[in-house]
Every structure is written in C-alpha cells, then in structure tokens.
Amino acid sequence: MRITREDVVSQLLAGASDRPVESADVYAPANIALCKYWGKRCSELNLPVTGSLSLSLGSYGSHLRMSRMTEATTDRVTHNGVALSADTAFVRTLTAYLDLFRAGAYFNIETRNTIPTAAGFASSASGFAAAVRGLDTLMGWALSPQALSSLARLGSGSACRSVYDGLVEWDVGSSEDGMDSFATPLRDQWPDLRIGLLVLTDKTKPIGSRQAMQHTVDTSPLYRAWPETVASDLATIKAAITERSFERLGQAVEGNAMAMHSTMFAARPSVIYWTPETVATITRVRQLRDEGLMVYCTMDAGPNVKLLFLHASQEAIEAAFPDVVVTNAYNGDV
C-alpha cells in the first residue's frame, strides 16, 4: 500500500501536545550541502537516494510570522513585504503543504528572507523549515527536533537539514514510510568554516531543482555512478571534519558538486545551469588556490558559486571577491 504524506503527518503528530497560541515568530537558516542530495527514491515523501551533509548559513535564512485567520477562505502570504497572489509557484507549494496541517483553518504568513533572494539563493530549505517551526509554535505541538526535521522534509528535502545550525547530516534511512530519514547535527562541529555567497546573476533559473533532479534520475546515464560517489565523498568529508583537514574537505566538497553537475550535463536533454560567469569564477578559485589561498567551491541547482574557506582566509577572500557575502554558521549557538 502506498504511504502518503498524510499518513506520515498523522504518525508524527500522534503524541504531540495541543497548546495553541495566538501567533508564532520563528527563524530557520538556509543551508548549503557540502555533500549533495540529488535524487529521490520516493517523491511523495521526499525520500533521498543517498545521505547528504550541509553547513547552515547562520543569520542568512527565513524569518516567518504566522497566525490563524478566522473566517478566511484562503491563506494570506506576504514575502519580503509584498503580498503574493495565490497562483505563484511559492504560494501553491506552501498552501499544498499547509493543507496537511490546517484542520479547517487558514493562515496569515509573513516571511522575510535575509539571504539575497534575487540571486537564486532563496532555497526553499529555510522557508519550509521556518514554516514547520511556525506550525509547531502556533499549534503548541512541542515536537522533537527529529520530528520537525521529518516534517520539513515533506515540504522540501533539503529543508530537513535547516532545522539545525552548523554541520548537519541527513540520514538516507531505509524504511518505506521514511521514519528513519531525518537530519541530525554532526557531533564534530568546525567553528572556523565559512561559506561565501557570490551573486553571479539574478536571472531566473531555466528549470527548478525538483524537476531537474527527477529528469536527471530518469535520463542521465551518469546517475548510476552517483550513489557510489556520494558514499565515498560522505565518508571523506566526515573524516576530514574530524581530522580538521581543510584541504581534504575542500577537495571532496568541490568534487561532489562537479559530479552532481556532471550527472546533469549527461541528462537527455542536458540540464545546464552554468553561465560564462560560473566558469570564470571557478577558474578564479583554482587560480587563487594555485597561488596558495585555501578556497574551494560548490554549486547547487543554479549558476551561482559558493565558496568554502576558513575564517583565517576571510580577508584574502574578500579582497579577491569584493561582492562576496560571507556567512558564519556559528554566529548563533550551535
């Protein structure tokens, strides 16, 4: 029998308390995967083909205020101060997600992203993690972090990693209902790690990550090699974190992103997020490395490049990339 999102939600909420409050004001950080989640084994429940590992972006993410509306017949969603119409893709996805929890109520939701939105960094991860936190506070569920992570996954896979700060691992799990596929913070954290965001273009992406992911799984002959690549990269990344070996970490992180994009290049037709600016930036990163600066890059389903470096290199990075937005996962308490 096919397991639905509704089944999973009722399981996760079975033991929850019920102490609703007037309104909730919450925050969730965005995250960048150091080892990527790319491909689902179940798209209804957003269950991944492999595990993944990310670093949160500290104060770069989504603030969300949420309350229930009496006598409303639709949700009201405001994003960065602008009321969004019900037929925008974001509102449609969010509304469908809220349908899982609404029990007859409609919600007034105001979100504000601190991450540069126009640049395609506004990943759905922080948005869905904030929505889950908002629901938990508003309904007074007092759920465990594990349950919050599982609920966030139903909204968007990478959102399950955004319910924590710092280095976070999403376990692939093996059960059909996905109850063992949630994220937890790594025991080893690395406070000197930094991610730099580079805004290369504000053009909309040719194809969203959900679609690109499925199309790659369905058509790319190189996708067969992906689970093995991830198994090896995840092990290397975790060992490098424990050993505090930045070079080993950076090589695995950059290699993993390039392997993910290679699966996309080989899809039929191919998915190409890269622009001339992407290539120029990666070339510059390599040049800086040749000159002795320890910096590596990663990319997601878009043309922008994210830099990975250590706090000690921050000044040199800012000199080389004057527009870089440096994020620190460890600004808050991890």
What is the nearest approach in angstroms of ligand PMV to the Cβ of residue 38? Answer: 6
Question: How far apart, in whole angstroms, are the C-alpha atoms of residue 30 and residue 18?
Answer: 28
Q: Is 181 in the site for ligand PMV (CB under 6 A)?
A: no
Q: Is 57 in the site for ligand PMV (CB under 6 A)?
A: no
What is the nearest approach in angstroms of ligand PMV to the Cβ of residue 234? Answer: 12
Q: Is 52 in the site for ligand PMV (CB under 6 A)?
A: yes
Q: Give the single-character DSSP code of 13.
A: T
What is the nearest approach in angstroms of ligand PMV to the Cβ of residue 261? Answer: 10
Q: Is 158 in the site for ligand PMV (CB under 6 A)?
A: yes
Q: How many residues bind ligand PMV (CB under 6 A)?
A: 15
What is the nearest approach in angstroms of ligand PMV to the Cβ of residue 316? Answer: 27
Pattern 258-297, ligand PMV, x by CB under 6 A: ----------------------------------------
Q: Which stretch binds ligand PMV (CB under 6 A): 14-22, 62-70, 118-126, 236-244?
A: 118-126
Tokens 């007037």 label which residue? 22
Pattern 64-103, ligand PMV, x by CB under 6 A: ----------------------------------------
Q: Is 328 in the site for ligand PMV (CB under 6 A)?
A: no
Tokens 């059909």 label which residue? 176
CB hemisphere CA count around 231 (13 angstroms)? 6
Question: How far apart, in whole angstroms, are the C-alpha atoms of residue 10 and residue 169?
Answer: 25
Strands (DSSP E) found in 249-320: 296-298, 305-310
Q: Is 36 in the site for ligand PMV (CB under 6 A)?
A: yes
Handedness of CA 186, 238, 215, 125 (dihedral sign): positive
Question: How far apart, in whole angstroms, are the C-alpha atoms of residue 218 and residue 214?
Answer: 6
Asked if residue 269 has a cis previous peptide bond (ω within 30° of 0), the answer is: yes
Q: Which stretch binds ligand PMV (CB under 6 A): 119-127, 133-141, 187-195, 284-292?
A: 119-127
Binder of ligand PMV out of 33, 84, 98, 130 (CB under 6 A): 33
Question: How far apart, in whole angstroms, are the C-alpha atoms of residue 228 and residue 297?
Answer: 21
Q: How far apart are the first and last CA of the chain?
A: 40
Residue (210 or 248) nearer to ligand PMV, CB: 210
Question: How far apart, in whole angstroms, are the C-alpha atoms of residue 246 and residue 240?
Answer: 7
Pattern 299-318, ligand PMV, x by CB under 6 A: -xx-----------------
Residue type for position 255: G
The answer to whether the CB of 121 falls within 8 A of the CB of 30 is yes
Q: Which stretch binds ligand PMV (CB under 6 A): 34-42, 71-79, 111-119, 174-182?
A: 34-42
Q: Is 229 in the site for ligand PMV (CB under 6 A)?
A: no
Beta bridge partners of 42: 47
Question: How far apart, in whole angstroms, are the C-alpha atoms of residue 236 and residue 27?
Answer: 31
Contacts with ligand PMV, residue ranges (CB under 6 A)? 33, 36-38, 52, 123-125, 156-158, 209-210, 300-301
